[in-house]
Structure 1
């Protein structure tokens, strides 16, 4: 039950009448020589860590190593609770949890790299919001995580998820594609709709640069995780509505890599361009290093 492209994955789903999560679950069990129960158990543990990271900063405020972020998730939660959110409950929760995970990561807490530490808030942020808004159980979310894993595996195998190689489009873009596919399956989408959601999620973030201030995975990384979650939600909704993407997933992955190669090195995790090169960011960088 192995595959090395989105096209092969769809064929396996069609031939076996499987969802993407079914294929990925069997592949993982075979790859690691584990039982289905052990494979699911590992994914449940990953989701437990994700949920803990979503809630920790809301219960116990943390400050990042560089001091650039901290407390943002609680502010969005408080605005939603006040009844003033312009995003609605679903998106507001996704924003809150995505922000929270990056606060945990930047304060050296425990997170799940999904697919990277810098993009670790996108997938749990969207999935936990879905779970709460639609009263889903953990097993449904676990299925979504296997689908997300399949998408992440294909992007890593055929392109990259490293910002240093292809910019933030490879980190937050990949995470958003994973989350979009997961949300589509959880809400009843077909395998093709899941990959359509992932395709448009990647296309929407093509060219996104990686320009961390002071070289720290804090700012603007946290903000971009929110964009990744919101993008995933929109893309899943489009796919579930029956909007078909005529560019196949595999071609979009190749395109993302090609775009990544053309991004100047200053905009690939070097902190030499973009947001990191602004006057305000340079002053903040000096403050950080003077205080160390």
Structure 2
């Protein structure tokens, strides 16, 4: 199986072989890791189980981080889904993302997808798809598509907030989530590429500015926003909307922007929201 190093290559291989993107990623992973297709699918199914459980745990409430900065917002948002302006699907997805992120902040079990700081985004959109009646097997296979997108981003840019800001974490996760949703929705490989581009390019320049250096504020709620963002990117692509800038050029731009970002807004807690009056007061309260 030909390997891929760009999204364009992944799309080309999938299109030429007339196979879904997840099948290409699966074949490459099987060949490189010397593992069977069944082993890889079983492992991914376990990942999905952990993702889903983290969402459900967060929705139950009663969760509070050690610092006291976060916890309990997911149930509030979930209860609001029938009253809000965004609509049931959007608000429940945001609640799912906040739920998984609150579990992470309270030292619970999550899947870093692609990072712990962005762990709520992919699980949220897939939980929403699952709750809407999508088959679990389709959910599991779409995770390979998301993984393939993450692999390309990691190779050509970064998924780390310390290197590329939160655009590298929540931006990458949004692109991965949009790709998975687009495939579940019956999108073509080309539409998957457009969904990734649309998701990432509208989060370019996002700072990583955690208050007190903890992956809590603004990280938890940022996951909720990015999950809804990913849903919109997928729906745009499925509707036939295209990104004018090709997806690999968007990823390259994310890399260049990340490198150009000042150090104090790349996970150092030395700028942005972390150095607001309230942010500094919270830091002093937590650490003394």
Shift of 1:161: 0.4
Q: How many residues align?
A: 287
Q: What is the distance in 1 between the residues matched to 2:285 and 2:55?
A: 29
SS at match of 1:198: helix
Q: What is the distance in 2 between the residues matched to 1:78 and 1:239?
A: 30
Partner of 2:171: 173
Q: Pairwise mapping of residues 71-90 of structure 1 onto structure 2 (< 5 A)?
A: 71-80=72-81, 83-90=82-89
Summarize deviations over 1:89-142 as a string: whole Å, max 9, x none. Answer: 111111111001111111111110000000000000111011112x11110101
Q: What is the distance in 1 between the residues matched to 2:108 and 2:228?
A: 24
Deviating more after overlay: 241-250 vs 147-156: 241-250
2:10–2:21 Cα contact (<8 Å) kept = yes
Summarize deviations over 1:156-207 as a string: whole Å, max 9, x none. Answer: 0111001010100000000000000110000000001001000011100000
Partner of 1:202: 200
Partner of 2:34: 33
Q: What is the distance in 1 between the residues matched to 2:72 and 2:107?
A: 15
> Structure 1 length as normaliser, TM-score?
0.96
Corresponding residue to 2:283 among 282, 285, 291: 285
Summarize deviations over 1:49-107 as a string: whole Å, max 9, x none. Answer: 00010011222521112211000001011222xx3122211111111110011111111
Q: What 5-or-longer segments of structure 1 have no aligned partner?
A: none
Q: What 5-or-longer segments of structure 2 have no aligned partner?
A: none
Quick check: 1:120 aligned with 2:142? no
Shift of 1:147: 0.7
Quick check: 1:191 aligned with 2:211? no
Q: Pairwise mapping of residues 1-150 of structure 1 onto structure 2 (< 5 A)?
A: 1=1, 2-59=3-60, 61-80=62-81, 83-133=82-132, 135-150=133-148
> Structure 2 length as normaliser, TM-score?
0.98
SS at match of 2:84: coil
Greater than 4 Å deviation, 4+ residue runs: none
Q: CA RMSD in A?
A: 1.0
Quick check: 1:153 aligned with 2:151? yes
Corresponding residue to 1:259 among 257, 260, 263: 257
1:90–1:130 Cα contact (<8 Å) kept = no
